[in-house]
A and B are shown apart, each in its own frame.
Chain A
Amino acid sequence: MSDPTLLSARGLRLSFGAIPALAGVDLDLWPGEVLAVVGESGSGKTTLLNVLSGRVRPDAGVVWYRDPDGALHDVHAMEAPLLRRLHRSDWGFVHQDPRQSLRMGVSAGGNVGERLMAAGARHYGRIRASALDWLAEVEIDPARIDDLPRIFSGGMLQRLQVARTLATHPRLVFMDEPTGGLDVSVQARLLDLIRRLVARHGLAVVLVTHDLAVARLLAQRIVVMRRGLAVETGLTDQVLEDPQHPYTQLLVSSVLQA
């Protein structure tokens, strides 16, 4: 693993009042790698995601991002226009609730096209063709391109959000509980889809989940968080098969066997 990292965090600290949400977290992400962040509610997973993506500023610590030209950027020292541009093009963010990022009053095609148009696309025919491609890729019937997301099911909404996020071919995608709130069969289909897209497009993903099965299915590496600290890091299979830290052992042993 001597290749240059895509994203590196060192010594991240952030407290909400007396509660340390992050108490000194280091993290590395390499290009094309899926990294799962697991832990119980309140362990700082989502805060970590927000800090890594520059949406929330940490009290201390630094996040480095390497752009396609190899230049390093301190995410929290970047100027706002640059960071917003990064979020619109090179990065993507998949929320647990797709309504947070989708425009519910705009058609499915418009939602996928918005990121392209924000990135400067000005050819209607090509934007529409690209939207059709992406809808097909996330298994939404292209005939529904002009339908409003309002009438889509929860699973379709989440797939639409994935299509919209990937439309600009980002290199790095942050996912916050992408399968939360979906029923089990829909979850399975979405996970399958995400796994295929990640492999096909060589995406690097930081995936926050409380579901070890999701982590096992998607991630090559895993970070176990507890009370703002990364208590164990390693290859997913290794950590889940042979947990070293007592908390990880508890977490693994408390998964219900179907």
Chain B
Amino acid sequence: MNGYNFAYLDEQTKRMIRRAILKAVAIPGHQVPFASREMPLPYGWGTGGIQVTASILGREDVLKVIDQGADDTTNAVSIRRFFAATAGVQTTTRTADASVIQTRHRIPEAPLTEQQILVYQVPQPEPLYRLEPSRAETTRMHALAEYGAMHVKLYEDIARLGQVAISYDYPVMVNGRYLTSPSPIPAFDNPKLHRMPALQLFGAGREKRIYAIPPYTDVRSLDFEDHPFRPHRADAACALCGSRQSYLDEVVTDNRGGRMFVCSDTDHCASRRAAGCEGVAA
């Protein structure tokens, strides 16, 4: 830990980020600008999430980092090691043991509690950016709660394809007020955002925005009354643990079209197997 302040960032920077976080918690779903710092990893690797984590981390915290649900991928391993080295905090891969979970593109399968904070890495915080290129205009649309354009996108999908064709980063209304990007989590995870007991913080480093969903906040996925939101899941069981409830990754196993479905949440899969559950490939 020599040569570093606790958790890498200097205290003034942490204070600035905490102020942004407090404001974000006070206005659920509203994007708060903050002075994002250069971090020792490239944009797109979680510079926003890592700054939020650094600002909220205490010496007693237990950190878990996941990337697409997995604890053992490059991004997850390097960020976990980063905080082990710069903050000396305890790390874990077990969802239940963690007090801070930094995530990229997934929400853990195990239900989170009031004692936990979930930190998302966000590439694009603006849910309207594909529809309206001007930041000034999207800010105005948020201020006036003019979200008709987003529904036009859903309308077009249903008119052309018979269903909404958004499988990840599915836009949500937070607390009935702000249209918000849930970060590129699969639409499958959207229902978990709704009234989650844990605090959810979202950090976008390149775009310099922080937003939050406080515990027990209403989060609704956009839909139509006659075309209700339907989360999608591959119609298969995990090849390792046999789960038919968890979100699955499709893994190509050879060059002859062989493939298998496995849980994207590695901790969930491992604990099920430890409890004796078995899939076809186990």
Contacts and interface: CB of A to CB of B under 8 A. Distances in A.
Q: Do A and B bind each other?
A: yes
Contacts of B152: 103, 106, 110, 113-114, 117
A8 to B, nearest CB: 27
Interface in B142-163: 143-146, 148-149, 151-152, 155-156, 158-160
Given A122-B151, A123-B226, A128 B159 contact: yes
Nearest to A81: B144
Size range of the chain B interface in the assembly = 10 to 19
B224 interface: yes
B225 interface: yes
Contact of A110 (B146, B155, B225, B227): B155
A107 B160 CA distance: 9
A103 B143 CA distance: 22
Nearest to A113: B155
Interface string A121-160: 0111101100000000000000001100000000000000
B177 to A, nearest CB: 13
B156 A110 contact: yes
Interface string B111-154: 00000000000000000000000000000000111101101100
B64 to A, nearest CB: 38
Given A84-B146, A127-B155, A146 B225 contact: no
B160 A124 contact: no
A125 B162 CA distance: 12
A166 B95 CA distance: 54
Contact of A123 (B148, B156, B225): B225
Main secondary structure, interface of A, reads helix
A118 interface: yes
Given A123-B224, A124-B224, A124-B227, A109 B159 contact: yes
A146 B144 contact: no
A122 B148 contact: no
B146 A117 contact: no
A109 B155 contact: yes
Given A124-B158, A146-B160, A114 B224 contact: no
Interface in A87-121: 88, 103, 106-107, 109-110, 113-115, 117-119
B148 A124 contact: no
A80 interface: yes
B2 to A, nearest CB: 55
A53 to B, nearest CB: 17
Contacts of B149: 114
B151 to A, nearest CB: 4
Nearest to A126: B226
A80 B146 CA distance: 12
Contacts of B155: 109-110, 113, 117, 124, 127
Nearest to A118: B148
B25 to A, nearest CB: 25
A119 to B, nearest CB: 8
Given A124-B226, A125-B226, 10 more contacts: A81-B145, A88-B148, A106-B156, A109-B155, A114-B152, A117-B148, A117-B151, A122-B151, A124-B224, A146-B160
- Please list the 4 inter-chain residue pairs (A to B) with the smallest Cβ-Cβ separation, ordered nearest first: A118-B148, A124-B224, A117-B151, A117-B148
Interface of A: 80-81, 84, 88, 103, 106-107, 109-110, 113-115, 117-119, 122-125, 127-128, 145-146
21 contacts: A81-B144, A81-B145, A84-B146, A106-B152, A109-B159, A110-B155, A110-B159, A113-B152, A114-B148, A114-B149, A114-B151, A114-B152, A117-B151, A118-B146, A122-B223, A122-B225, A123-B224, A123-B225, A124-B224, A124-B225, A124-B226
